Amino acid sequence: MNYGLSEENSIFRESIRDFAQKEIAPLVEEAEETGTFPRQLFKKMGEQGFLCPRYPVELGGGGGDKITECIMVEELNRVNAGIAAALMAQSGLATQPIYRFGSEEQKKKYLIPAIKGEKIGAFGLTEPNVGSDAASIQTKAVRQGDNYIINGTKMFITNGPICDYVIVAAYTDPTKRGVGINLFIVEKGTPGFTVSRKLNKVGNCSAETGELVFEDCAVPRKNMIGKEEGGGFVQIADTLISGRITYGARCTGTGQAAYDLTVQYARERVQFGKPIISFQNTKFKLTEIATCIDIMRSYTYRVARLYDQGKKVRKEAAMVKLFTAETLQKILAYSMQIHGGYGYMMEYAIQRHWRDGRLYTITEGTSEIQRLVIGKELGL
C-alpha cells in the first residue's frame, strides 16, 4: 500500500531507505556502545537534501512536504532511534523557529548551514525543575544595551553536547506568564554558555543529550528570534505542533522495526517441533501489531497533509502523538513477549527498540499533556 503517496514521496522513501541501510546501519553498534553520535551524518545527509527534506531547495533543503519529512523520520527510526533523534532535532526543533520566524540574517548565518549539515543545532526549552509546564521556565534574558544577558539551566537537550548553536527559551518579561518568553540563538563558545554534563540514558544512547548552563551569557539583540519582546511562546507552540506529527512517524518506524525483527524471530524459533509463528497465539499478536502500524502510518500521513494545507491541527497533532506513542508500547510489549528470554538479552536488537520506544510517551509532550491539549480543543 502506498498510502496515497506522490511519486516524489515514493522515490524519496526508496532513496532514504537505501541511505539508512548503507550509511547509518553500519554505525549503530559503535554509536550505541560509546554513546557518541556519528557527526559525519549531518553533512552526508545535508549534501543529499535528506537532513531537512521539507525546507526549500534554495535554502539547501529537499523541497518536499511534511509527508516527506515523516518518511525520512520513519526510515531512520527503523534503523536506530538514537541516531534518528539527533537528526530529527536538527530537521525540526533546531531549525523551524528560525525558518518560520527568523530574520534573513539569522537564516543565512544559522539556518542554511544547519540544513546543509555544516552546523549542528539544538533546542533548549526543558529545565531541571520545569517540564510539561513550559510557561514556568525560570531562564531569564535581561536587556543590556545591544545584548541580552541570559541566566538559567536547560535539561535533557538533544544535541546539546555537540551543538554549534542552541535556540534558548527565556523570559524577557517574567511578569507575563508565557507571553513574556522569547527565543534566542546562542552560539557555541559564547562566554557563559557551558555544557555542564552529558547525560547517560536508558535508551536512545547514540543521541548525545546534555544539561546546558547559561551564566551571565551575553547574546546580541540580533540573535533574538522575532522583532519584539514577547511572542516566543507562540513560536514554541508552532514548533511543537509540527514535532508531534513527526513523532507519529518516529513511533511508526520503531514499531515497524520491532515487527520485522519479531516476524523473523518467530519464523526461526522452533518449539514443540515447529516454528512459533505457526501457533495461533503468535499469529494473533503479529496481526494486531501489523494492524496498529498501518493505522499509525495512515493517521500520521493524514494529519501531515492537513498541516501542509495550512489547516489548524493542534488537536489532531496531539492525537497523533498520543495514539502512536501509546500504541507503540503495546507493540513493543508483544514483540518482547514473543522473543521470550532472548528478547531480554543485550545481543538481540529487540531490547534496544523496547528501551528506545519507552521514551516516546514522555518526550516532546507527555501523553498526559496530549490528553489535556485534546480535551481543551474539544471544549471539554
Task: Give the number of residues written for the chain.
Answer: 380
Strands (E) in 39-85, as ranges, are none
Instruction: Tell me if residue 72 falls in helix, strand or coil.
Output: helix
Give Cα 121 to chain centroid, integer Å: 13
CA pair distance 132, 364, nearest whole angstrom: 9
What's the rounded Cα separation, in Å, for the pair 341 and 355? Answer: 16
- CA distances for 219 relative to 49, 158, 196, 201, 215, angstroms: 31, 21, 19, 31, 11
Half-sphere exposure of 108 (CA within 13 A, CB side): 4
Contacting residues for 247 by C-beta, under 8 A, at least 6 apart: 320, 321, 324, 325, 360, 364
Query: Residue 133: in which H helix or E strand, if any?
Result: none
With a CB cutoff of 8 Å and minimum separation 6, the contacts of 92 are: 69, 239, 242, 243, 246
Question: Pairing between strand 209-220 and 193-198?
Answer: antiparallel
Angstrom CA distances, 108 to 98, 226, 288, 343, 373, stand at 10, 15, 48, 48, 35
Alpha helix locations (H) across 309-344?
A: 314-339
Task: State the Rg of the chain over Cα.
Answer: 21
Catalytic (active site) residue 47: no
- Catalytic-role residue among 74, 75, 316, 364: 364
Dihedral pair phi/psi, residue 63, rounded to 5°? 70, 20
Q: Count CA atoms within 13 Å of residue 257 on its CB side.
A: 29
Residue 68 C-alpha from the chain's centroid: 15
10 Å Cβ neighbour count for 238?
15
| Residue 222 grid coordinates | 540580533
Q: Which residues are catalytic?
A: 364
